[in-house]
Structure 1
Amino acid sequence: MKVDVRYDYELLPSRKPKFLAQTAAHVSGAAFYYQQSDVTDQPWAGKKMFGVCIHPSFGGWFAIRALLVFEDVTVGSELVQPAPPDCVPSREDRIKLLEAFNFRWQDWSYRDIVPPAQTYSERQKEYFSTAPALRLALLRTWGLLPEEEIQPDLSPDEQSQANGHG
């Protein structure tokens, strides 16, 4: 069986993602992808609002890291596409979710629109709140990576910040 694995960080030459992770989660029935079009009488006066997936057990405290495409598998008509679980059914909560995600995503509050079974640890929050270029330095301060004198992946300004001089 041939399986094509696509990761969330992979990009096409056009710099667009190889797959739309939240759309894939929605069509697979894993999580509901709430979008601007899911709100009637929108209060945003023509503003573009980005959508976000919410899981019924984990709220927004999960990630979609890969897509598996089983290339040689054929299925009959007995395969039914599951509907994603609509766990934010009210208009008011959908507005609250989309506003929290679009305007205050850094405070993590949109993730709690559904009471989650589990959330990220404080270290996970710190890691994901850190700029990607500074994450290796953060892991070093936690003792998870050996100290290095030269950090070739960072610009001089980022090296200074990573070493606590910025």
Structure 2
Amino acid sequence: NPESNMGNAVGAAPVKAAIDKGVTVGLGTDGYTSDMFESIKMANLLQKHELHNPQAGWEEVFQMAFQNNRKIATRFFDKIFGVLQAGAPADIIVVNYYPPTPITSENAYFHILFGISGDMVDTTIVGGNILMEDREISGLDYERIVRRVKEQAEDFWKRF
């Protein structure tokens, strides 16, 4: 949660040192933000800033986001995550991203780091179930929810 750490002025996690000691360091959000693509970008920048090294962060953030998060989730939930294979939960996102340059196995991470953001997510599939398609969350009455939230917020501020 690099954005939260920066927003609360609590510093940067010693990611490289922890990984070098064998700690499985993951990357996530804690409610301060909810865009993992932006957290990947910010984690990369924060490590560069913290270590005063423009080369820092590349490998560690990739490892955290795409290897360690999978390991942590697999260990915690006792299911295989982060792979497309039989028996693994079908957790997939579809992103509307049309880059001006080709995506290859060598540069895919950099397209994620510099080109993709959460607002490009079009479809979300969790456990094989489509939860969002064409940016519409299935089963939710969005207008009703917004209306209720506004009512609750007004009530809260009157009491506050």
| Band the TM-score falls in, shorter-chain normalisation | under 0.3
Return the structure number with greater helix share: 2
TM-score norm. by structure 1 comes to 0.23
TM-score norm. by structure 2 comes to 0.24
Could you say which structure has the greater relative contact order, defined with CA pairs below 8 angstroms and 6 or more residues apart?
A: 1
Larger gyration radius, structure 1 or structure 2? 1
